Chain A
Amino acid sequence: SQTIHQWPATLVQPVGSPLSLECTVEGTSNPNLYWYRQAAGRGLQLLFYSVGIGQISSEVPQNLSASRPQDRQFILSSKKLLLSDSGFYLCAWSVSGQGANSNQPQHFGDGTRLSIL
């Protein structure tokens, strides 16, 4: 069966420090991968998605970046964190293949709670 791992679960970072959040998926090949941010009491904001190794699409311009160095690994990074980067970060995957996606759900990790001091 497929599983998704996201770490760390919680992170407290000072303003201006770098960030690296990692997400890995097991049990499937060539998944679509997603990073979302959820501010307190708010909905989901899609940050990045990837349909293959090295292919990253950004939905919202910001000081964050994403990379996909391996098929089932998705990394969210920042060189300098801002206070506004605080939030709950969620990684998700779905079955690959355009057309098929519209019938396929997303599968989410447990999230990373990021607090910026």
Chain B
Amino acid sequence: GDSVTQMEGPVTLSEEAFLTINCTYTATGYPSLFWYVQYPGEGLQLLLKATKADDKGSNKGFEATYRKETTSFHLEKGSVQVSDSAVYFCALGGSYIPTFGRGTSLIVHP
């Protein structure tokens, strides 16, 4: 079945550091890929998405590229801020039920 694997957290960075959160997937067909962000005490919010191979999703300085050859969708940001501290979930779309990774906690220190 479909699955999503995210790097274990927490990821701890200093402000303005470069961020990469790895995400790999296994899937049948060609689902869309998503990154969601969850701030403390809140629900998940869609951060970005990509619908086909080589698509790059971007939002709020975050980027991720749909790599079919490596079945990956790594999240990157060039310069993180304290306000980016949150849990990040990688997910792939399904006909009714998406598949989520376990989430990666990001902690950014001033």
Q: Which A residues have a C-beta under 8 Å from some C-beta of B?
A: 6, 32, 34, 42-44, 46, 49, 51, 59, 90, 92, 98-99, 101-111, 113
Knowing A32-B96, A49-B96, the reply to whether A103 touches B32 (Cβ < 8 A) is yes
Distance in Å from the Cβ of A40 to the closest Cβ of chain B?
12
Q: Which B residues have a C-beta under 8 Å from some C-beta of A?
A: 29, 31-32, 34, 36, 41-46, 49, 51, 89, 93-98, 100-103
Residues of B within 8 A of A42 (CB): 102
Task: Return the chain A residue nearest B96 by Cβ.
Answer: A101
Which of B43, B96, B101, B102 is A98 in contact with, Cβ under 8 Å? B96
Which of B32, B100, B101, B103 is A102 in contact with, Cβ under 8 Å? B32
Which of B45, B49, B100 is A44 in contact with, Cβ under 8 Å? B100
A110 touches B43 (CB 8 A): yes
Residues of A within 8 A of B42 (CB): 110-111
Residues of A within 8 A of B100 (CB): 43-44
Given contacts A44-B89, A111-B42, list 10 more A-B pairs with CB under 8 A: A6-B43, A43-B103, A98-B96, A101-B95, A102-B32, A103-B32, A105-B32, A105-B36, A106-B46, A108-B36
Knowing A43-B102, A103-B32, A103-B51, the reply to whether A111 touches B43 (Cβ < 8 A) is yes
